[in-house]
A and B are shown apart, each in its own frame.
Chain A
Amino acid sequence: MSAIIQVSNLSKQYREVKAVNDISFTVNTGDIYGFLGQNGAGKSTTIRMLLTLIEPTAGTIELFGKNLNSHRKAILRQIGAVIEKPDLYKYLTGYENLSLFAKMSGVAVNEKKLNDQLEQVGLTERAHSKVRTYSQGMKQRLGIAIALIHDPQLIILDEPTNGLDPQGIADIRNLILHLSRHQGKTILVSSHLLHEIELIANRMLIIDKGKKIMEGTVAALVDPARTMVHLEVTNPQQVVTWLQSSKWSANLQEHSNNVILLQMNKPQVPELTADLVNAGANIMALQPQNSLESYFLSLTTENRHVDTFTN
């Protein structure tokens, strides 16, 4: 599979703040690539560098095998993007917005093509209403129509589900899957809603405070061997002391107040529960989580602890 996006040692510094710090990743043809991070992690800055809105301080970006700096126009012609919330010309209609951006994308537009695109995102009935009368979900769908009107190979969606209701989120998710499966598009989608990424992406990157934490397949990240157990007890000191001297010591990740975190293979959880009861732990809650969300939170939390100690 060929690489569509190849980012190498990318950094962006604003005075003392390193918004993006030496990130490298690869997006292959046909990927739905999840770009995960909490707010302020550096996702939008990275995406803006991919779209030439921001100039990198260091590093290189290659798209479709070409350097972004030297082939900017040719590369952007093959990209459709929704950057954060889709802000459009509110005093124009949805149809006029779409027509205007289609012309800017360099495609020959006709009424049929525009209407077909609006139909694909379910905006036919409101095509000739001013955008100021649109709901957030409708604006988002129009933004996606604008991103798709020139039939790009690569679609970049920055937080596409922000501000949407559950139905809107589901619609966007289905649209992304449709574009990937039926139209063969490569999609880079950023989000802090990890559950959404888990449902649609095949590969992903997690960043935090501008740094790459990990890159891999979603299947590997939801590996049952990496189940995180959140244990809440009323006698944490006693339980931690027992855990440290027991066979579970290697599984102990961290503890604070009443909460103890252990990482293990999911089938081991019943055995741990029995051992804890026998050891006199007053268990208030025991929750095994192997979702991407749990993994993401554990990674970013770990980083924070490291920072706390090093500071």
Chain B
Amino acid sequence: MWTLLQIELFKIFKRPRTYIAFIAIAAIVILIQLALYLDGKTYIGFLLQSIERFNVEGKILNGYFVCYFILQTLLIHVPLLIALVGGDMIAGEANMGTLRLLISKPISRSTLLVSKFLASSIYTLLLLIWMAILSLFVSLLVFGSGDLMVFQSQVIIQIPQSDVFWRYLAAFGFAAIAMITVAALSFFLSLFAENSIGPIVAAMSIVIVCTILTTMDLPLFLSMKPYLFTSHMLGWKGFFDIQATTGNSAVPGSIQNLPGILRSAFILIVHIVGFVVAAVVIFKKKDVLS
């Protein structure tokens, strides 16, 4: 398994297309950072204009705020980049004609498939680590540190500086589960095609449709939300939903709805396991005709 995993990672990182996602993330993050660096005060002013009698001390536009802003924007689009690799894992091999060579080697089909999935998961994790380095550490370097202000529809949440960093680690950990779910979906779809375009587009379409259903507050869609994995992918935000005392002071180290976050994480993990197990079962019986 270890040898196979090494081989799969070698193949992934030898392909130029693998780096498209890293370049795309770097480009978007740097552009957002540049925009906020040049004109962030106007944006903060816009956010604060509807809030009366609210005195702000300290620097709102700090590295933590910029990172939160980037994550909100990017974590919706990163699945599309992950599908580029996940959707190519089997279909790409079928398209190149190398799948038949792989299967004729003395390796069990399930081992081959699991090592391929692990490789795409590692790629996903590396993409998130890259995103964390750029959006969190570079932002802290450029914009400095401070309390995190989270603007929600009804309230503003202020999290003390000393209580923020671990929340980001937890949020990136949750995002990793969410993104691996997308990798598992695109990987599963990759079984049914002999060209990687199909599963990539199919995975993107499923994520987009489910995300739209998740964000629309129509009664019919509301009843569907708990069953859509995209609803649970946004669970990382829960780490920034801090508990407050009766005097509206933040309780350090607290999370408003930890069971909700854990439930979402569990549902996503069930999806991952479901997609991978289904892929293995189907692949073991699949005739390789490509």
Asked if B98 and A89 make an inter-chain contact with CB atoms under 8 angstroms apart, the answer reads yes
Stretch binding the partner chain, chosen from B6-14, B41-49, B219-227: B6-14
Q: Determine the distance from Cα of A104 to Cα of B288 in the docked complex, in whole angstroms.
A: 18
Distance (whole angstroms) from the CB of B204 to the closest CB of chain A: 24
Asked if B97 and A53 make an inter-chain contact with CB atoms under 8 angstroms apart, the answer reads no
Asked if B100 and A53 make an inter-chain contact with CB atoms under 8 angstroms apart, the answer reads yes
Given the interface pairs A74-B106, A105-B106, the reply to whether A88 lies near B288 with Cβ below 8 Å is no
Q: Determine the distance from Cα of A100 to Cα of B103 in the docked complex, in whole angstroms.
A: 14
On chain B, the residues within 8 Å of A54 by CB distance are 287-289
Given the interface pairs A87-B96, A87-B97, the reply to whether A52 lies near B103 with Cβ below 8 Å is yes
Asked if A79 and B104 make an inter-chain contact with CB atoms under 8 angstroms apart, the answer reads yes
Nearest chain B residue, comparing its CB with the CB of A87: B97
Nearest chain A residue, comparing its CB with the CB of B7: A100
Given the interface pairs A87-B96, A100-B7, the reply to whether A53 lies near B288 with Cβ below 8 Å is yes
Asked if B107 and A73 make an inter-chain contact with CB atoms under 8 angstroms apart, the answer reads yes
**Does chain A have a CB within 8 A of B247?**
no
Q: Determine the distance from Cα of A72 to Cα of B106 in the docked complex, in whole angstroms.
A: 7
> What band does the interface of chain A fall in when counting residues whose beta carbon is under 8 Å from B?
20 to 34
Cβ contact of B108, chosen from A48, A73, A74, A77, cutoff 8 A: A73
**Does chain A have a CB within 8 A of B53?**
no
Q: Determine the distance from Cα of A74 to Cα of B7 in the docked complex, in whole angstroms.
A: 21
Asked if B107 and A104 make an inter-chain contact with CB atoms under 8 angstroms apart, the answer reads yes
Asked if A88 and B287 make an inter-chain contact with CB atoms under 8 angstroms apart, the answer reads no
Distance (whole angstroms) from the CB of B124 to the closest CB of chain A: 21
Asked if A76 and B106 make an inter-chain contact with CB atoms under 8 angstroms apart, the answer reads yes
Task: Give the number of chain B interface residues (Cβ < 8 Å).
Answer: 24
**Does chain A have a CB within 8 A of B209?**
no
Nearest chain B residue, comparing its CB with the CB of A100: B7
Asked if A104 and B14 make an inter-chain contact with CB atoms under 8 angstroms apart, the answer reads no
Nearest chain A residue, comparing its CB with the CB of B104: A51
Asked if A103 and B288 make an inter-chain contact with CB atoms under 8 angstroms apart, the answer reads no
Nearest chain A residue, comparing its CB with the CB of B288: A53
CB-CB contacts below 8 Å: B100-131 with A: 100-108
Asked if B106 and A77 make an inter-chain contact with CB atoms under 8 angstroms apart, the answer reads yes
Given the interface pairs A91-B14, A91-B15, the reply to whether A83 lies near B104 with Cβ below 8 Å is yes
CB-CB contacts below 8 Å: A37-51 with B: 48, 51
Cβ contact of B104, chosen from A81, A87, A103, cutoff 8 A: A81
Nearest chain B residue, comparing its CB with the CB of A80: B104
Q: Determine the distance from Cα of A239 to Cα of B110 in the docked complex, in whole angstroms.
A: 66
Q: Determine the distance from Cα of A87 to Cα of B14 in the docked complex, in whole angstroms.
A: 17
| Of listed B3, B11, B104, residue having the most chain A CB within 10 A | B104
**Does chain A have a CB within 8 A of B30?**
no
| A-B contact list, 27 entries, CB within 8 Å | A48-B287, A48-B288, A51-B104, A52-B103, A52-B104, A53-B103, A53-B287, A53-B288, A54-B287, A72-B106, A72-B108, A81-B104, A83-B104, A87-B96, A87-B98, A87-B101, A89-B11, A89-B98, A92-B11, A92-B14, A96-B14, A100-B7, A100-B10, A101-B101, A104-B4, A104-B7, A104-B106
| Residues of chain A at the chain B interface (Cβ within 8 Å) | 48, 51-55, 72-74, 76-77, 79, 81, 83-92, 96, 100-101, 103-106, 146
